Structure 1
């Protein structure tokens, strides 16, 4: 596959680096980005030369989540917004990262919003720049979290804290993410790449079979129903929200830079 929105490399140490690199929309995840992510996650899993995977964005942002501008244009044109295909694809990516036999590090600089938060949580270790910010922004446009965010956060933080973050959509700083146990390490922005690759090289030189089977144990203990949940809970709940007038209003308000007026319809 020709990669237009990602950069994928594998270095001599066996570290595969997936860089989301489409700053035109701050690495928003559209169908093409989702297709490319599915492709490289599968390629990294199947490549015997890959020992560790790093998923990162750029200095400006990790990922802004969904492409709200695209949804806005559809709404303005009177078209139907159907996210089932996109959510299904990013669900494959989300589950693929957790099921992968190689350890995954997410390296986060700048903003992660919406599905970007989900991808940041999708690895086994998250290393953040001190300017990282996480926003479960779905509720602000009348949607529910997707790409596995609610599932992963409930497993990590419990139901009460997940409800707070999902229902308020408030920002979470890098330091708070570390305090909550979501981030492994927080470093200065200019040190992020070096810290990430140093840790990746340490893991790549470690007992890979042990890591593989630790991941399998954890997946089977905590995530064995993940794929089913994505298909049977996440997609239908987002489908209902995406068909609502509240979602249309949320998109319009976001793009028009005004306060949304939701009616619960």
Structure 2
């Protein structure tokens, strides 16, 4: 496998982004993070890509920050050691959560710290049975980053999120799904194929509607009902003016399967 820190593979309308430091369980160095920022930005703008898979190479999805590099940054200048949060984690999570196409996390193994933040920023998740999940931050005297202070309580509720962050205990995919972190749990050997199948299904779907839905759902809990109704009306009108919608209505009336071109 190539030694590039992040791999991007395009197959039909699906782009698969792979963190590629298997020997270090895909721990995040500056090189990896910068490559991931660049890869996600390019994919977000690529109109030929209609769905995305994010995964890790080897036995882990991502174990979060590379602590060896972090220790060197602290020794060099503690005042700038955490600039990476704004420079890298923020744009990565923002890209995953807001790009106008669905993103599937193929969690093939250990997923902790920023890795968990990345997985929760994706729209859908496929978990390897037996994978280790966790927040990890308090174990090294830190607090949340990579969006976990928002995505985790939204998924599992505030009380459970406090427990997972403050106690820092690891948990299983089966527990995660029970608590509300939606996702499929499959044997580890089936993760890649299941995620690819899910992404292909999404890529064949109404991507304009997916983009509007992502935008509405991202802020739905923070808006009043009146504001939500107003935003839904605007978004529905945009979708309603699309060729995808017109074609799907015609197909339905003709008892045919609709096709979607993202137009």
Place the TM-score, normalised by the shorter chain, in its bin.
Answer: 0.7 to 0.9
For the pair shown, the structure with the greater C-alpha radius of gyration is: 2
CA-to-partner distance for each residue in 1:217-263, whole Å, 9 max, x for gaps?
11232479xxxxxxxxxxxxxxxxxxxxxxxxxxxxxxxxxxxxxxx
Map 1:60-99 to 2 at 5 A. 60-74=59-73, 79-80=77-78, 82-88=80-86, 89-99=88-98
Map 1:40-55 to 2 at 5 A. 40-55=39-54
Give distance in 2, aligned partners of 1:151 and 1:118: 10
Give distance in 1, aligned partners of 2:222 and 2:6: 27
Of 175-184 and 137-146, deviating more is: 175-184
Map 1:229-240 to 2 at 5 A. none
Match of 1:9 in 2: 9
Match of 1:29 in 2: 28
Higher relative contact order (CA 8 A, sep 6+): 1
Deviation at 1:123? 0.3
CA-to-partner distance for each residue in 1:101-147, whole Å, 9 max, x for gaps?
00000000111121111111110001011022111111011000211
Structure 1 ranges of 4+ moved more than 4 A:
none
**RMSD over equivalenced CA pairs, Å:** 2.0
Match of 2:238 in 1: none
Map 1:149-188 to 2 at 5 A. 149-188=148-187
Deviation at 1:84? 3.3
SS at match of 1:55: strand
Change (3 A) 1:49 1:167: same
The question of whether the paired residues in 1 share the 8 Å contact of 2:15 and 2:43 is answered with yes
SS at match of 2:54: strand
Paired residues, number: 221
The question of whether the paired residues in 2 share the 8 Å contact of 1:15 and 1:52 is answered with yes
Map 1:201-216 to 2 at 5 A. 201-216=200-215
Change (3 A) 1:153 1:79: same
Of 3-12 and 205-214, deviating more is: 3-12
How high is the TM-score relative to the length of structure 2?
A: 0.79
Give distance in 1, aligned partners of 2:167 and 2:40: 31
Runs of 5+ in structure 1 lacking a partner?
225-265
